[in-house]
């Protein structure tokens, strides 16, 4: 069967679109913005560092820390951003 979703009653469309769909879109938007923002901040710090220190092409950050940061420490805020539901299924 090639459908993306299957529902039992037509009125579930309302819930699906307006609650889950909207929250999914917003969450995706938040996560994307967050990740890009983080990237920019890291890059800007590096930029300022290079600018002020006579344009030396040296990494400001300890390379291993950066690797650990991207892999380990940043999965958690994403899950927190998305996983946090102050109002799981009520008051739609």
Partner 1 sequence: MIIYNGRRTVPNRPNTNYLNNKKYNFLTFVPIILINQFSFFFNLYFLALCLIQLIPIFQVGFFITYVGPLAFVLGLTMVKEWWDDHKRYKRDKKYNEEHYMTYRPESGLFEKLQSQYLRVGDIVLMSKGQRIPADLIILATTLPNGDIYLKTDQLDGETDWKVRESVKTIQTFVNSGNKIENLQFEATVPRPTNKIYEFRAKIKIKGADVAEPLRLQNTAWASTTVASGDFFGLVAFVGKDTRIQMNANSARVKFPICDYEINNISKILFVICIGISFFLTALKSFGTHWYVNWILFLVLLCCIIPQSLRTNLDVVKLIYAYRINRDPLIQGTICRNSQMTEDLGRISFLLSDKTGTLTQNEMIFKKITTGLLQFTEEEFAELKNTIKTGSAIAGDKLNKKIQDLNMLMYSLVLCNNVTPCFDNSGVRFLQSSSPDEIALVDFAEKMGFFMEKRERERMFVKEPSTGDSINQYTILENFPFSSARKRMGILLRIEKTGKLIYFLKGADTVIKEKVERNADVVVEEADNLAKEGLRTLAFCYKFVEEAEYTAWKQKYQAVTTAINCTEEDEDAVVSELERGMRFIGISGVEDLLQDNIRETIESLREASIKVWVLTGDKVETAKCIAKATGLKHKSENFFEMLDEDQFRIESQITQLAARKEVLVIQGNVLAKIYEFGLERTFFSSVSHLNAIMFCRCSPTQKAQVVKSVQTVCSGVVCAIGKQTRLLTR
Which residues contribute to the site for partner 1 (CB under 8 A)? 1-18, 20-28, 31-32, 35-36, 38-40, 42-43, 46-47, 50-51, 55, 57-59, 63-64, 66-67, 70-71, 74-75, 78-79, 82-83, 89, 92
Query: Nearest approach, Cβ of 24 to partner 1 (angstroms)?
Result: 4
Query: Nearest approach, Cβ of 61 to partner 1 (angstroms)?
Result: 8
Query: Nearest approach, Cβ of 86 to partner 1 (angstroms)?
Result: 14
Structure tokens, 12: 């579930």
Residue 4 sits at φ, ψ, to 5 deg, of -85, -35
Pairwise CA distance, residues 48 & 84, whole Å: 35
Pairwise CA distance, residues 86 & 88, whole Å: 6
């Amino acid at each position: 069967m090639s459908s993306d979703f299957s529902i039992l009653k037509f009125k579930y469309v309302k819930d699906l679109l307006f609650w889950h769909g909207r929250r999914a879109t917003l969450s995706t938007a938040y996560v994307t913005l967050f990740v890009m923002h983080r990237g920019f901040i890291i890059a800007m710090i590096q930029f300022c560092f290079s600018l002020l220190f006579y344009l030396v092409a040296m990494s400001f950050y300890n390379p291993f820390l950066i690797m650990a940061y991207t892999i380990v420490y940043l999965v958690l805020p994403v899950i927190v951003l998305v996983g946090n539901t102050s109002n799981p299924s009520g008051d739609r």
